[in-house]
Amino acid sequence: MPVTSSRLSERLSSSRRRGDTGNRWLRVVMAVLATIGVIDTGSITLKRWGVLGNLSCPGGAEACDKVLSSPWGTLFGQPLSLYGLLAYAAILLLALLPLVLRGEVRTRLATLSWWGLLLLSTGMAVFSLVLMGVMVLKIQAFCFFCVLSAVLSLTLFVLSLVGGEWPDRGQLLFRVVLLALVVALAGLGWAAAVDRPDALARAGTPPAVTTSSTPAALALAEHLKAKGAVMYSAWWCPHCHEQKQLFGKQATAVLTIIECAPDGRNSQKQLCDTKGLEGFPSWEINGRLDSGVKSLEQLAQLSGFKP
């Protein structure tokens, strides 16, 4: 009898190893997709933090900036992409750990990790669908990075559903549907809360400049205005706000700033279109266009200003 039990135990152990080996490639694929997600959301987060410059966004950088800088692009004072970065990092960890660990810990973690992968990817996929609805119906702009993240989330959900061994399908369905409903209701509630009348009233208006101008910045602004220099801007552009912060509130009020966003206040989009602008902000000084945030020293040199 002990021999029979031992053989049965060996067969079960062998069967588990074969099943884990068969799902190993799914884990590798999920790890690769999660790595792409980390790069995607990490790049957006670093850009929003000002660490990275402009990102090359297929479909137009203007639309991407509009989506990422919208009221729905921030949660608890941090870029929404930061939370996506943490979620993809968790997926990457859950996918890889059972591949590198050994022994009984690996066996136990293999089953638990599939539940973690499934539940986490379910929440990510449902919330991504909510964000896609906001992007299409409310913001009405296309962001390649956001669509990529949604596709990755849905793919991870499908792979985790296929990869795990689910002996109780009823329990599986109950947990997935319950979590999907909770995330959907929470996501829709958050989207509706952001879509308040006071938030809509701010749409089309750039954020207020909070820094104070130095005498040198004010003198430079007056010189640029006298020279006919123009700054082409968009109300949703974070780099435009950064440029204004360098000048300060008083000097910014002196500058000639042209609003290029079609939904911006006092928009002059047709004029902007004739200039062939490559990005925002763009400076036109002495008939020459130069895009990107410029330091006050650079602007002084470009315009021939001598304090």
Domain locations in the chain as residue ranges: 2-200, 215-303
| H helix or E strand, kind and range, residue 112 | helix 104-134
pLDDT at residue 1 in the model: 43
Fold assignment, 2-200:
de novo design (two linked rop proteins) (1.20.1440)
The pLDDT > 70 percentage for the chain reads 87
The pLDDT > 90 percentage for the chain reads 51
Q: Which long-range contacts (CB under 8 A, 24 or more apart) does 9-18 make?
A: 16/107
pLDDT at residue 20 in the model: 52
The CATH architecture one would assign to domain 215-303 is: 3-Layer(aba) Sandwich (3.40)
pLDDT at 21 over 90: no
27-41, 48-62, 192-206, 277-291: range with lowest mean pLDDT: 192-206
Cα(162)–Cα(64) distance, integer angstroms: 33
Higher-confidence residue: 6 or 181?
181
18-27, 141-150, 159-168: range with lowest mean pLDDT: 18-27
pLDDT at residue 51 in the model: 72
Mean pLDDT to the nearest integer, 5-26: 53
Is the full-model pTM beyond 0.75? no
pLDDT at residue 248 in the model: 94
CA separation, residue 27 to residues 18, 91, 149, 187 (Å)? 14, 10, 18, 28
